[in-house]
Amino acid sequence: MASEDAASDLIASARRTAANARTRFDYETRRAERHERLAGEGRSDAVTDMHLRMAAIHRRTAACHLTAARLQDDYVARLVRWAVHPDARMPRFMAGVAEACGTRSAAVTLIGASLDQLALAASDEPARAAEELEFLLGEGPARDATSELRPVLADGPALLERYPGYGPAVAELGIKAVAAVPLSVSGTCVGALAVFDPEQGVADADTFDGVAEALTRSVILGPDGDPALYGATDMRAEVHQAAGMVSVHLECPVADALQLIKAHAFAEGVAAHSIAERILSGELRFD
């Protein structure tokens, strides 16, 4: 049976976060309603338009918090089932995100200023493998979504044509469709949400955008934000540390060292962090 203390702590944390999100939903809803009333009392078109714009902003923020609360509620339900089943695998928060987007496989990548992937959280192994391939090959939907700051989608032959390396590689995983949307706040892109093989074709745009906004503004970066997503986020710190070591050893730029690690991982068919661990332990050297 899952550890009772661990399960209880996670459930309590998710419930608090859901309650806080609902409190913010109620607050933003009340502010929207106030502006809507004032719009009806507007003494001029300019005043009416101003209040309607403010109401729309608060409605959008309220919707964001409500979606975040529902994601937390879903995680609580998964944790409750996990707590009472012996030998069960701890549920991933991203599994609920994937379900909300109409698929079984979804992943969030967080990026740095140079668009390098700093962290990854996935709903399942196919999503994790797909994002690992994107990291190793330097092409894919999340990378395009963050660099182009727009939604990206590709399925069928278009997936293979758009991504000559990544497309065939994810096809071998059984993935036939991908879509990604940037995670942005205050004009700054912090990552991307990607989904794989959504049930209704490429993910519904409104739902996809709503989940992405909730993740960014409430779940990851909000007042109760948890970029680690309850410990399910894999950091790329070891990979970048190993790239620094290789850079010094080979007297080459860190970016070149990172590409060397990625190429080695892809050639061996393993994750980049496993190559990084061997470099950091001294087991592997590039001469």
Torsion sign, CA atoms 150, 156, 158, 160: positive
Decide if 48 contacts 42 (C-beta within 8 A).
yes
pTM of the predicted structure, to 2 decimals:
0.84
Decide if 130 contacts 176 (C-beta within 8 A).
no
Question: Per the domain annotation, does 230 fall within a domain?
Answer: yes
Query: 167 with 136, same domain?
Result: yes
Question: Per the domain annotation, does 257 fall within a domain?
Answer: yes
Helix, strand, or coil (residue 155): strand
Question: Per the domain annotation, does 149 fall within a domain?
Answer: yes
Question: Per the domain annotation, does 171 fall within a domain?
Answer: yes
| Burial annotation 46-69 (CB, 10 A radius, 16+ → b, else e) | eeeeebbebbeebbebbbbbbbbb
CATH code: domain of residue 188: 3.30.450.40
Query: 112 with 60, same domain?
Result: no
CA distance 61 to 64: 5
CA distance 120 to 228: 9
Query: 202 with 266, same domain?
Result: no
Which helix H or strand E contains 119, and what residues bound it? strand 117-122
Query: 68 with 161, same domain?
Result: no
Q: Which domain holds residue 222?
A: 102-234
Per-residue model confidence as pLDDT tens digits over 188-206: 888 999 999 876 555 577 8
**More reliable by pLDDT, 271 or 21:** 21
Question: Per the domain annotation, does 89 fall within a domain?
Answer: no
Query: 140 with 18, same domain?
Result: no
Name beta bridge partners: 183.
Answer: 191
Question: Per the domain annotation, does 287 fall within a domain?
Answer: no
The predicted structure's pLDDT at residue 27: 96
Mean pLDDT to the nearest integer, 70-89 = 87
Mean pLDDT to the nearest integer, 128-134 = 92
CA distance 245 to 238: 11
Q: CB-based contacts of 267: which residues, under 8 Å, 6+ apart?
A: none
Which helix H or strand E contains 237, and what residues bound it? helix 237-250
The predicted structure's pLDDT at residue 3: 61
Query: 107 with 221, same domain?
Result: yes
Query: 264 with 194, same domain?
Result: no
Per-residue model confidence as pLDDT tens digits over 234-260: 777 777 777 778 888 787 887 788 878
User: Two tokens at 224?
Assistant: 């109760």
**Number of residues written out for the chain:** 287
Asked if pLDDT for residue 217 goes beyond 80, the answer is yes
Query: 12 with 56, same domain?
Result: yes
The predicted structure's pLDDT at residue 86: 60
Asked if pLDDT for residue 113 goes beyond 80, the answer is no
Phi, psi of 236 (to 5 degrees): -95, 15
The 3-state DSSP composition of the chain as helix, strand, coil percent (nearest 5) reads 60, 15, 25
Query: 259 with 227, same domain?
Result: no
Query: 208 with 112, same domain?
Result: yes
Count of domains for the chain: 3
Question: Per the domain annotation, does 94 fall within a domain?
Answer: no
